[in-house]
Structure 1
Amino acid sequence: MSNNTDEKKKSFFSKNKGILLTILIFAVLVFYPLPYYITSPGDAMVLDPIIKVEGGDKDKGEFMLLTVAVGKANIPQYIWAKFSDYKEVIPANQIRSDEETDEEYNQRQLQMMEDSQHAATVVAYQSAGKKVDIKYHGVYVTGIMEGMPAEGKLKVADKIVAVDHNPVMTTKELLDVLGPKKAGDKVDLTVLRGEKKMNVNLDVKQFPKKYIQNEGPKAGLGITSPVTDVSIATDPSIKINTSQIGGPSAGLMFTLEIMDQLLDKDMTHGKKIAGTGTMDLEKNVGPIGGIQQKVVAANDAGAEIFFAPVAGNNYKDALKAQKDIGSKMKIVPVKTLDDALNYLNKL
C-alpha cells in the first residue's frame, strides 16, 4: 500500500512539474520582499465631508486634499515602476528607519496628521477672528532608536509629562531640557502609559555614528520624532475625520477649508481647488513629498487650481508635471497662507 502511494506521488510530481515550477516562480515574484517602496498618484478628496464646522458656510466650489499611494515593492511592481512616469521607487530607509516597526511608522504618520489638523485649526480660527484655546498635555513617543537607552524602557504612544520631576508639556520643552545632557547623565522621566503613571530612569548615551552622520558627537535617549499632545477648544466647534490618512501634507488645504466654513464669503468662487503643503503656527507653507504624483491626482479629479509650496522645489516640480501631462490646471506658488488667500481674493 505504501509503495503504491509513493508511486502515485512521484507520478503526480512528474506530470505536473512544469505547473508546480510556474507556481513556485510566481510565488517568489509576488511575495519576495524588496527593500523598496513604490509610490504612485493617490486620491483627490473633497474636504467638505471630512471637515465639519458647526454652522459652517457651504459653497459651490471645492477644496481638495491629495494623497500618494505607498506600498512595499515586490519584483513585478519594481519593474513596472521603473518604466512608469509617475510611479516612484524609494529605498525603504527613506520611508522609515531600519529599526522602525510597522506599528511605529503608522503611529508616527497618524500623529503627524493630528498635528497638522491642530495647526490648521489654530491658524484658521485666528485668521478668521474666531475663538480658539490651546492646551498642552505632554509629549508622545512615536519612535525609538535601536541600541539606545529608551529601547525596552519606553513604548510607542507613551506620553512624557515630566523630566527630573519638572513638568514638560511640549516637544520644545522636552528638547530644551534634554539638549544640554551629556553621555553618562541620568534622566528621570515621568511617563503615562494609558492610565498608568510611571517613572522611567534612563542613562544618556552617545548616539551611534549612523544616526548623526557628520554632525559630530551627540548624546540622547533615542526617542525619535516626539510629538506634543494638544487639545483645542473652539467656538464654533469643529470635527475632522480623516480616517487612516497619515502625514502632515494636508495642512494648507485644511486651513483653507476651515476658514471657508467659518467665513460668510465663498473663498472657492465656485472652483475646484486642490493643493498641498504643511502648515505651521506662523502660517508658513512647508514642502512635501510626491508633488508630481499629487499634480496627476488633482488633474484626474478635474481641479482647476493647484497650490504648490515654493520650498523644496515643490513648485518647480509641479510645473514640470503639469507640462508633462498636458494639464490646463493653474499651478499657484505659495510660501505662506497669505499667498493662497491673496490669490483667492483676486479670483
Structure 2
Amino acid sequence: MKSLKIGFGLLVAVLIFLFVPLPYYITYPGEATTIEEFMTVEGGDKEPGELKMVTISQRRATPLWLVGSWFTPFTEASPASRYLYDGESEADYERRQELLMSSSQQAAIQYAYELADADVTVTFDGMYVSAPITGSLAANVLKPGDIITALDGQSFASRLDFIERVASFEAGDEVSVTLERDGREREVDTLIQPIDRSGDRVGLGIYEPLPVQDVRTDPDVSFELTNVGGPSAGLMFTLEIFDQLTPGDLTGGAVIAGTGTVDELGNVGPIGGAWQKIVAADEAGASVFFVPAGSNYDEAMESLDRLESDIEVVPVKTVEEAIDYLESMN
C-alpha cells in the first residue's frame, strides 16, 4: 500500500510538471513566412524575390517549459501580466490580437495603395474598445467590444481624427460618449483623464482603441492568413502590396525580412521581440532585416552579435525609408 501511494504521488508530480499551467508565457523565435504565399493583389506582379514577415512563437508555461526556457537560447519566460490586461481572459487576448492583425492589414492596404497611386476608399465606422483600463473612470461605463462613434455628439472621420478630438480636451472635462454595444446605440458620460504624470497627455482611459472601417480597393487585395495575431507585420505587408502594385522587383531577387507596425501615414512603429525575430529571419536565409529604429534596432543588434550572422539589420522610421533602401540595393 505504501509503495502504491508513493507511485501515485510521483505520477501526480509528473503530471503537474508536464501539464499544469503557470502564470507565465514562454516566447521563442517563430517562423519567417513569404507574404505572397497568403496575400494577393488581383493582377499584381509576383517576382522571384521574397518579402517575409517574422513571428514569435508563444505558449503558456508549465513547469517543464519554464525550466526548459532557462537553458534554451533566445527563449524568454515572462509574467502573463506582460501580455494580458487586468481582468482580460486568454480568449479576450486572442480576440484582441486578431483585431490588431486586421487593423494592421487595413493600414498597410491604405498606405500602399496611396503610395502606388492606386484606388482605395476607406469607410470609417468608429473606434473599437479593446478594454477599459482597470481602475479608470471609463471602466465604469465602457466594455470590451464597444464601438465609439462620437464624442459630445460629434463624429470623427478616422483614427487620427479621433485621437485629435480626445487630445483637444483637458483632464477633468466631462464628455458624452456615443457608442454601439450589442447592435444598439447608447450614450454614456465619463471624464477625460491624464495618461502621464505631467497631465499634458489625456485620454478616455481605454487600451489600444482600434479603427472599425471598411477598406475597398481597385484592384482587389486579399489575405488568407490564420493563427497569427498582432500588428507587427504591417511594414512587410505594405512593402509586398506596393511591390505587387508597381512594376519591377522591389527586392532585386533577394530574400528580405522585417518587422514593424505601420499606420495610415506610413510611419513604422515599435514591436515586441525584435531580438527573437531576427533569429527567424536569419534561419530563413534573409540578407536584410528591417526593424523599427530605436530600442528595437538596439536589441536586434545584440542578438546579431550572438548569432554571428552577416544579415544586414536596417533601422527604419517610415515605409519610404525601407523602399529607398531596397531601391538603392538594386
| Per-residue deviation, residues 183-208 of structure 1 (Å, max 9, x unmatched) | 5x6544332235x222142343878x
Q: Structure 2 CA distance, aligned partners of 1:291 and 1:204? A: 37
How high is the TM-score relative to the length of structure 1?
0.84
Structure 1 residues 197 and 41, CA gap change in structure 2 (3 angstroms): same
From 282, 298, 309, give the equivalent of 2:281.
298
| Per-residue deviation, residues 264-294 of structure 1 (Å, max 9, x unmatched) | 2011222211111112233222222111211
Structure 1 residues 103 and 150, CA gap change in structure 2 (3 angstroms): farther
Q: Does 1:331 align with 2:321?
A: no
Structure 1 residues 309 and 206, CA gap change in structure 2 (3 angstroms): closer
Following superposition, the deviation at residue 29 of structure 1 comes to 2.4
Partner of 1:256: 239
From 198, 203, 206, give the equivalent of 2:185.
198
Structure 1 residues 169 and 336, CA gap change in structure 2 (3 angstroms): closer
Q: Structure 1 CA distance, aligned partners of 2:162 and 2:318? A: 28
Larger mean CA deviation between 271-280 and 158-167 belongs to 158-167
**Preserved CA contact (<8 Å) 2:84 2:90:** no
Q: Structure 2 CA distance, aligned partners of 1:19 and 1:71? A: 30
| Per-residue deviation, residues 298-321 of structure 1 (Å, max 9, x unmatched) | 122222222222222x22322332
**Preserved CA contact (<8 Å) 1:113 1:246:** yes
**Preserved CA contact (<8 Å) 2:170 2:192:** no
Following superposition, the deviation at residue 70 of structure 1 comes to 1.6
Once the two structures are aligned, what percentage of the paired residues are identical?
Answer: 37
Partner of 1:110: 98
| Per-residue deviation, residues 162-185 of structure 1 (Å, max 9, x unmatched) | 2333324544444555553655x6
**Preserved CA contact (<8 Å) 2:177 2:190:** no
Structure 1 residues 22 and 213, CA gap change in structure 2 (3 angstroms): farther
Partner of 2:15: 27
| Per-residue deviation, residues 213-257 of structure 1 (Å, max 9, x unmatched) | 745599865432211112222111111232232111111110111
Letter in 2 for 1:323: D
Structure 1 residues 330 and 72, CA gap change in structure 2 (3 angstroms): same
Following superposition, the deviation at residue 105 of structure 1 comes to 1.9
Letter in 2 for 1:41: P
Q: Which runs of 5+ in 2 are unaligned?
A: none
Partner of 2:297: 315
How many residues get paired?
A: 328
How high is the TM-score relative to the length of structure 2?
0.88
**Preserved CA contact (<8 Å) 1:139 1:168:** no
Partner of 2:33: 45
From 127, 137, 156, give the equivalent of 2:125.
137
Letter in 2 for 1:201: V
Following superposition, the deviation at residue 32 of structure 1 comes to 4.1
Q: Structure 1 CA distance, aligned partners of 2:144 and 2:285? A: 40
The alignment's C-alpha RMSD in Å is 2.6
**Superposition pairs for residues 126-205 of structure 1, below 5 Å?**
126-151=114-139, 153-178=141-166, 180=169, 183=172, 187-194=175-182, 196-204=183-191
Partner of 1:59: 47
Q: Structure 1 CA distance, aligned partners of 2:242 and 2:288? A: 18
Letter in 1 for 2:191: V
Structure 1 residues 205 and 129, CA gap change in structure 2 (3 angstroms): closer
Partner of 1:285: 268
Structure 1 residues 59 and 144, CA gap change in structure 2 (3 angstroms): same
Partner of 1:227: 210
Q: Which runs of 5+ in 1 are unaligned?
A: 1-10
Larger mean CA deviation between 117-126 and 169-178 belongs to 169-178
